[in-house]
Structure 1
Amino acid sequence: MGAMRAVAQRVTEAAVTVDGETVGKITGPGLCVLVGVTHDDTPEKAAQLARKLWSLRILPDERSCSDIDAPLLVVSQFTLYGDARKGRRPTWNAAAPGPVAEPLVDEVVARLRELGATVETGRFGASMKVSLVNDGPFTVVLEI
């Protein structure tokens, strides 16, 4: 059974641009979160991931986003399920297709907002440029 996967980076700032237009931007402390979805992920897993991200104590002084109302920038990232164990070209077989993945990434965002989070996002399926200042650097890989 697969797991919803996320890479959470503690940032002082982060932004996503598409075709030169800024579509999402936060000023930290906060989290830039790359979210990958596999075939058997569910809305329940998305809700669990949202709760984990909201309460994860990786901001300065061991605080969480919920402690200091820190913003999150959530970006869909199917390449988190790339498998490069064989050969030189990764395969993406474990990544869920867009019609499955997009609603689940949206669910993570919706659940974070229900918890009271300020959330900015990328644009699903677009060619995005993500810029950030990783504070630490501090990066955690989560699987729910």
Structure 2
Amino acid sequence: MAINFDNALGVHQYSLGVRAQRAEVISSNIANANTPHYKAKDVDFASAMQAASSHQKGLSMSKTTDKHFDLTALSQQHVQYRVPNQADTGDGNTVDTQKEQAAFMQNALEYQMSLGFLESKFSGMTKALRGD
């Protein structure tokens, strides 16, 4: 009997890709905190997860065989500009460094949590295959 990884791993396999993309976007915001006219961005996590899980897709990479995942759902279409919480400081930059650092830390914790869930799923499958 073949193992269906979509059923076995659930949503956690997709959340890793979405969280990795969100980490890139947030770190880009932090890096551009002093860049004039830079607009802070964020990933719409709900729509990115829905697209990733419904299409079984993630990051954009080249596909060399039909057995590879087609990872195109996490394109920049889910990256949106963030609504600033503070008034313009005069340079047009909308990055709030403290908010970005907090979002980055929360995203990192959620990424680690998803890794933990995947680890337990793989551990369970390994035990089932071994007959433990």
What range describes the TM-score normalised by the shorter chain of this pair? under 0.3
Q: Which has the higher contact order (CA 8 A, sep 6+)?
A: 1
Q: Which has the higher Rg, Structure 1 or Structure 2?
A: 2
| Greater share of residues in strand | 1
| Greater share of residues in helix | 2
